[in-house]
A and B are shown apart, each in its own frame.
Chain A
Amino acid sequence: MATFVSLSTAIAELVRDGQQLALEGFTHLIPFAAGHEIIRQGRRDLHLVRMTPDLIYDQLIGMGCASKLTFSWGGNPGVGSLHRLRDAVENAWPRPLDLCEYSHAELAAAYSAGAAGLPSGLLQGFRDTDLYTANPDATRAVACPFSGTALTAVPAIRPDVTILHAQCADRAGNVLLRGITGAAREAALAARALLVTVEEQVESLDAGMNAIVLPSFLIDAIAVVPGGAYPSYTQGYYPRDNSFYQAWDGIARERESFLSWMNRHVLDSPDHSALLHKLGVAA
């Protein structure tokens, strides 16, 4: 049963050094506020999992929180590189980062298998790319036991903690996700513990019959964090701040400008509301 707590309490109680952690959300509903709180609380040696690392993993990696990354596309969409991710891979700064690399379809299959309680997921297997030789333990070639068709098996992902952002929760702790959900539902069901930040608590979810609702019993903790996805977005509340994503390219390009931005906006802000006020985004 979900309990409503503050974000700092939720991170303090659920997230430990050395855990496998998935902050999901595909461009939409990325839990930035939760990622920032993990940085403030100084977690280390995390194994981060995410289909598209995006700016929040660039920040976690650049601040030294991670030792391993499982991912399928690590760029700033429509802009270019994630410079902190690149610096970690190319120069081991601020510390070495192990990579486990998939395609989107493979990582989606790994989350789906985790959600279904299966040990692995299956895809059609045309294993002619170098991703297979570069990541020899990440997949296996198998044959369909019925047809003999060549398939690729991907081990299930079961994060210690999955963290999502969503539109709203009702008083009982049921959570509604609306719009582009990516692999959020699968990452939630695959998790050993689930933390969700929401824009607001509401009397009724007012969800359509086939809406994506995470029932309260799946969720360990809910924190109400308005603006918690910024500079990503929450459909129906505020749009993606594309100008921030463009500006991040310059901020993150050099170590000094990155650290100074993180110190001023994340470490020197007690919470997400303070950060949004500093950025001039809060209305």
Chain B
Amino acid sequence: MGLFDTLRSVLGVRTDADATREADPEDLFGMSTAYLTMEADLGFAPVGAAALCFSSVDSTDFDATVDDVEEILRAGEAETGTTFYRHEDDHGYHWVVLEDDDPEDLVTSVHFAADTFVERGYGSRLLAAVFGFERARDGTRAYWLYSFRRGAYYPFVPTGGRERDNRLEFKLQSVLDGELDVEDDESYWYPLWPGTDGGHPWT
């Protein structure tokens, strides 16, 4: 980092350029093994759903892109059994929510959708990919979020209302660090609060 960068960072005027690195849909495949680790080492089973969050653009081309994504996901439903639905949240963001008991299929579908957006030049509209987990013994829900802005993962454990369990988040980070590219600056661990109490971030 040069002197100029240091100055800019101290003054807080650095931009996207210093994100961990460029977001890359291939990063999403890291979740395949993360699913296994979460269950084997931490007792967090897949919740059977994952989702992709994006903001819409008012253009025919963008609508066509979303249509294509939907069409291929629908075609894949017969093959993999991964069902999906579209949803718009209270913030005006759009979601593609995927449901399947097999995490492998979830990862593949989320990757496919994200990759299509990027291929068509709408990578900047992608906000986050969200993968859900639940601990059987107490019903605690935990999420791994992939931020397309930062090109990194971070943990999120909402505990009702607008509260989160920092300690468990740090623990998830300590166990998965190395396996996933985890955002090491906690001030970027922005929550995606569930719209309803007891709901998922995509509800």
A binds B: no
